[in-house]
Amino acid sequence: MLVHDATAQTSDTLVIGGVPLNSRFLFGTGRFPSPAIFQQALEASKAEVITFAVRRVDLDHAEDDSILQHVQDRKLIYLPNTSGARTADEAVRIARLAKAAGLGNWVKIEISGSPVTLLPDPIETLKATEQLVKEGFTALPYTSDDPILCKRLEEAGAAAVMPGASPIGTGLGLLNPYNLSLIIESANVPVIVDAGIGSPKDAAEAMELGAAAILANTPVAKARNPVAMAKAFALAIEAGRLAHAAGRIPKKRYASASSDLAGSLFGEPQSDNGGGIG
C-alpha cells in the first residue's frame, strides 16, 4: 500500500535527541478515567513517548497510584514534565529527580507563569533549558508560540521546541497558525505542537503546517471514548504528516475546474477553453 510505503520511509522518521521515532504522537497520561482505559488508549495511539508529572507521594493514601506501574512492560521513552515548577531552579530540580529515578534523560520543561492561563514563563523556560542542556538532558521546552523565543530555545540546545497551540486543556486549537508556521519555517529542530489541541482536526492542521509531532493529553483522556479518540488522533497525525509532505494546493479566491472544458458536450468545440465540473 502506498500509505504504508510512505510512512516506512526512513527519511521521514522523526528523530529527537538522536532517537528515531516511528510515531509522531507524544502521549499525555493525565486524567484518564481508569488505568485500564489509559492502557488501551496508549495502545491505540501507537505512541512511543509518554509524558507524566513528578509529584510528592500522597502519604495519606497508600493506594494512590503511580502511572509508571501501568506501563512497566512497554518499551517507551519517558518524558517527565516539570509541571508545578514556577522557576527554572524548580524545574531543574524536578528534572534531576526524574533522571535519578532511572527514567532516562528526556524532560519536558514546563514552567507556568500564571495559574489562570498556565502559559509558560518565557524567561524561566529559557534559563531552565540552558541549564538542563548543560547537564546533558534532552530538553523539550513547552513554550509560547513566539518565533523568536523558539529560536532562542533552539540556540540554547533544546532537542525540540514545543509551542502551545492555545492554553493547556482549553481545546481551542491553533489560535495563531501564522506564528506556528513562522516557527516551523525557521526551526532546525523538530517543532512539536503541545497544548490546546482540541480534536484530531487540530492535530492534522498543525501537522499540515509542518509540525514534526503533536503532544496531546486532555482531548484524548477526556473524550467520551478515549480509546477511539486515541486512534483518531494517530490517524489524523499521520494524515497531516502525509499531506504536508504531499504539498497542499495554494488557496485561490475563485473556483478553478478540475476537468478541462475541452471536449465538453455543450459548448462550441474550441481548442483551449477548460471546463467540466470537478
Partner 1 sequence: MPLKHNWRDFQLYVITAGGCHPGRELVHVMEETLKGGAGMLQLRNKTGSRQEVLREAKELRALTRAYDVPFIVNDYPDIALEVDADGVHLGQDDQAIEEARRLLGQDKIIGISTHSLEQGLAAERAGADYIGVGPVFPTNTKPGRAAVTTSYVSEAARHIRIPFVAIGGITLDNVGEVLAAGARKICAVSAIVGSEDPARVCRSFLEAIRSAEAGGHAIRIRLNGKETTTSAGNVAELVEQLGQGNKRLVAEVNGMMIQRSDWTSAALTPGARVELIQFVGGG
Q: Which residues are annotated as a binding site?
A: 169, 195-196, 217-218
CB of 104 to partner 1, least distance (A): 12
DSSP 77-139: EEEEB-TTB-SHHHHHHHHHHHHHTT--SEEEE-BBS-TTT--B-HHHHHHHHHHHHHTT-EE
Confirm if 51 and 29 have CB atoms less than 8 A apart: yes
Residue from 149, 160, 161, 168 touching partner 1 (CB under 8 A): that is 168
The residues, ordered by sequence, that sit 6+ positions from 100 with a Cβ below 8 Å of its Cβ are: none
From candidates 86, 96, 151, 201, binder to partner 1 by CB under 8 A: 96
Q: Say how many residues touch partner 1, by CB under 8 A.
A: 37
Stretch of 39-47, 76-84, 170-178, 184-192 contacting partner 1, by CB under 8 A: 76-84
> What are the two backbone dihedrals, phi and then psi, of residue 97, each rounded to the nearest 5 degrees?
-60, -45
277 in contact with partner 1 (CB under 8 A): no
DSSP 68: G
Are the CB atoms for 163 and 150 separated by under 8 Å? yes
Note whether 75 binds partner 1 by CB under 8 A: no
In the complex with partner 1, the residue whose CB is nearer, 98 or 152, is 98
Residue 80 binds to partner 1 (criterion: CB under 8 A): yes
Q: Least distance (Å) from partner 1 to the CB of residue 81?
A: 5
Q: How far is CA 181 from CA 127, 150, 173, 207, in A?
A: 25, 12, 14, 10
Q: In terms of CB distance, is 3 or 36 closer to partner 1?
A: 36
- Widest pairwise Cα distance in the chain: 86
Does residue 127 contact residue 148 with C-beta atoms inside 8 Å? Answer: no
Site for partner 1 in 202-261 (CB under 8 A): 215-218, 221
Min separation Cβ 154 and partner 1, Å: 22
Q: What binding mask, one character per residue, do residues 184-213 give for partner 1 by CB under 8 A, x or -?
A: -----------x------------------
Residue list, annotated binding site for 1-deoxy-D-xylulose 5-phosphate: 169, 195-196, 217-218
- Residue 143 bridge partners (DSSP): 163
Residues carrying an active site annotation? 108
**CA distance linking residue 267 with residue 55, whole number of Å:** 73
Least distance between partner 1 and beta carbon 122 (Å): 20
- R_g of the chain, CA atoms, integer Å: 22
Which positions lie near partner 1, rule CB under 8 A? 28-32, 38, 51-57, 59, 62, 65-69, 72, 80-81, 83, 96-98, 100-101, 103, 168, 195, 215-218, 221
